[in-house]
Amino acid sequence: MSRIELTFKNKKNILNVYLTAGYPNFNDTVEIVKELAKNGVDMVEIGMPFSDPLADGPTIQNSSQTAIKNGINLELIFNQIEEIRNTVDIPILLMGYYNQVLQYGADLFFEKAKSVGVDGFIIPDLPLDIYQKEYLQKVESLGLDMIFLITPQTTNERIKLIDSKSSGFLYVVSSFAITGSKSDIQQSQIDYFKHINNIGLKNPKLIGFGISDKKTFDTACQHAEGAIIGSAFIKSLEGSKNIKQTVKEFITTVL
């Protein structure tokens, strides 16, 4: 059983936190993940900074730009994850864009990720059909999980298709939005979450986009196995003088 599967089996109200590798400072990645795990976060999603992150809003985009300026790259991220794995046992996902994977060499990317202790991937612009044709076998043979997004516009038929090709969990995009859009969860969104729950899917679900605090996290947990916080956490790191303290304070307000 994969680390991700085990987490869903053993835990409820799963909190998955996104961070941008190499942000705010080049070497902060390791410490941030350690602190997140120590403070009760169940899973982390490490962003591989990309120059043109289409699905992301200004917060994650700016953090990516800073991280690239800080000198981060995939090889260094793999090194950081290797170091994290000495002390941290929660699932680690890599989130990024397909072009980075292509330039690294996709097969090599998946193998290297496996060897340093990555559990799964979120690559929003990797089309499902291309994944199925070119990478599914490889990813499955390595025992890794590929997570796909579903949105309020995804048809039932397509949700079922995505569910059948992905593993780990489904990333339920809460609304029409890019990351970092902030507002309360509306009734129409709750109806949408309920609708998803009634389809009968094999994968558990985490709700993301617009989850920023305790209130939105708790609401999301009523309708899915947990939720993902990204931009709100990145914002809290902006200009932080004491990373440990900042992480602790942020997570305490959510859990």
Partner 1 sequence: MNYKVNDQGFYGDFGGAFIPEMLYHNLNELKENYLQIIESDEFQKEFKGLLKEYVGRPTPLYFAKRLSEKYNTNVFLKREDLNHTGAHKINNTIGQILLAKRMNKKRIIAETGAGQHGVATATVCALMNLECIIYMGEIDIKRQAPNVARMKMLGAEVRPATSGSKTLKDATNEAIRDWISNPETTYYLIGSVVGPHPYPDMVARFQSIISKEMKAQLIEKTGRDYPDKVIACVGGGSNAAGAFYHYMDNEKVELIAVEADGLGIETDKTAATTQVGTEGIIHGSKTLLMQNSEGQITEPHSISAGLDYPGVGPLHAHLFKSGRGTFIGATDKEALTAAYQITKLEGIIPALESSHALAALEKIEFSSTENIVINLSGRGDKDMETYIKEMDNE
Which positions lie near partner 1, rule CB under 8 A?
50-52, 54-55, 57-58, 61-62, 65, 68, 73-74, 97-104, 124-127, 130, 148-151, 153-155, 158, 162, 173, 176-178, 181
Rounded to the nearest whole angstrom, what is the least distance from the CB of residue 207 to partner 1 in the complex? 14
CB 227 within 8 A of CB 217: yes
Looking at the Cβ atoms of 52 and 184, the one nearer to partner 1 is 52
Torsion of CA 200, 202, 204, 207, to 10 degrees: -60
- Shortest spacing between CB 164 and partner 1, in angstroms: 15
Distance CA 15, CA 90 (A): 11
Q: Rounded to 5 degrees, what are φ and ψ at 158?
A: -70, -35
For 44, the token pair is: 């982390």
Distances (CA, A) of 43 to 7, 88, 94, 177, 201: 8, 10, 11, 23, 21
Closest distance to partner 1 from the beta carbon of 73 (Å): 5
Nearer to partner 1, 171 or 250 (CB): 171
Question: Is 56 one of the catalytic residues?
Answer: yes
Residue whose CB is less far from partner 1, 34 or 205: 205
Nearest residue (CB) to partner 1, 104 versus 250: 104
Question: Looking at the chain, which runs of residues are DSSP E strands?
Answer: 14-20, 43-47, 92-95, 120-122, 145-147, 149-150, 170-173, 205-208, 226-229
Q: How far is the CB of 243 from partner 1 (least distance, A)?
A: 25
Task: Tell me which of 35, 42, 56, 225 is the catalytic residue.
Answer: 56
Residues acting as catalytic residues = 45, 56
